[in-house]
Amino acid sequence: MKLQNIILKGFKSFHELDLELSPLNVMIGPNGSGKSNFISVFKLLNEMVIGNFQASVARGGGAGTFLYYGEKVTKEIEVYLRFGANGYNCVWVPTADGNLFFSKEDCLFWGAYTERTGYREHLGSGHRESNLPNAAGRARVPGYVMNALVSWRLYHFHDTSDTAAVKRTADINDNLYLRAEASNLASVLYRLREGSRNYYEAIRDTIREVAPFFDDFLLRPDPTNETKIRLEWRERGSDYPFMAYHLSDGTLRFMCLATLLLQPYPPSTILIDEPELGLHPAAITILAGLLKAASTRTQVIVSTQSVPLVNQFEPQDILVLDRVQGQSTIRRLGSEEMKDWLDDFGLGDLWEKNLLGGRP
């Protein structure tokens, strides 16, 4: 279930935001424009529906860091989400101990007889953790909303150091979905090879386009502990087993991206922070194709600083973030405003020339 509309009031650098989302959304903007803040609301809501709201607020620095310019300026945060005929609305208010509580939490439904006003199901007020999980087991609309929020996934494949999670041994049964830092990449690939061979081969063949030396993964349970697995691979013309440590940072990140975007059952919404990091320009072109293809099956939200990546998209795919008078703004580009420029320039080139906004 794709998110069609999000409204934020008083959240971090967003004083008021009313944004329509598409299947594909590519965010551009300078440092400090609000890209990370926008992505963080998805992470917070995802944590909220698994019972980690209070812990997430505390880890994020307490209520004051979530309120627009702090508690002296902003007294509450409001979030509104619409998924087709279903919606969710909540208001968070700071507590004396520096956390947030729910002064309102509702689910909404628009049907044939309620299209103008909507049907509102109250989930309570005064609570510190969301009541949505409990309501989801009793009523249809909260169930729809719950299923959408719980399947949002935020990914960042920045860490490719020697201690990176993707390079360590993983639980072979931790394979339901790819984790945020791809710590279970080998487990997911093993499941796909054994049960969804066509998808596995598509991932393998796409990686070969970026890394012609790559032949295939060697995916096998650890002989000393068959509940564990680690990422191994081999080169063309060789049967020598290499490990993730032998891969360049860019190749390893692309393996993670290809698996994420080509898996058979993607999350309802995928958020990726700077997927272009460390990639060769040719790989960036292939990545753009993967993002476009994935957006036909799921919703994709990407934050990028890459001019070559932005060059691969259409105006309607681009969200431009700016900081105006202390608050973050987001606007979607229109095809009409760009048509006279696009015969001669790519969108990334226009962005670099500061003709789109989203520059320091």
- Looking only at the bridges linking them, the beta strands covering 5-11 and 170-171 are unpaired
Of 124, 123, 93, 120, which Cα lies nearest the Cα of 109?
120
**SS3 for 165?**
helix
Plot region of 124 (φ>0 → left; ψ -120 to 50 → alpha; else → beta) = left
Residue 355 is predicted with a pLDDT of 81
Please say whether the beta carbons of 76 and 91 come within 8 A.
Answer: yes
The CATH code of the domain at 5-21+33-270 is: 3.40.50
CA separation, residue 179 to residues 150, 176, 185 (Å): 13, 9, 8
Residue 357 is predicted with a pLDDT of 84
Residue 343 is predicted with a pLDDT of 75
Of 206, 353, 212, 359, which Cα lies nearest the Cα of 288?
206
Dist. CA 38–CA 331, nearest whole Å = 13
Please list the ranges in the chain whose pLDDT falls under 70.
111-118
Please say whether the beta carbons of 247 and 255 come within 8 A.
Answer: yes
Tokens, residue 284: 């960036």
Residue 111 is predicted with a pLDDT of 66
Residue 354 is predicted with a pLDDT of 85
Per-domain residue ranges of the chain:
5-21+33-270
Fill in the amino acid letter for 272: I
Residue 269 is predicted with a pLDDT of 96
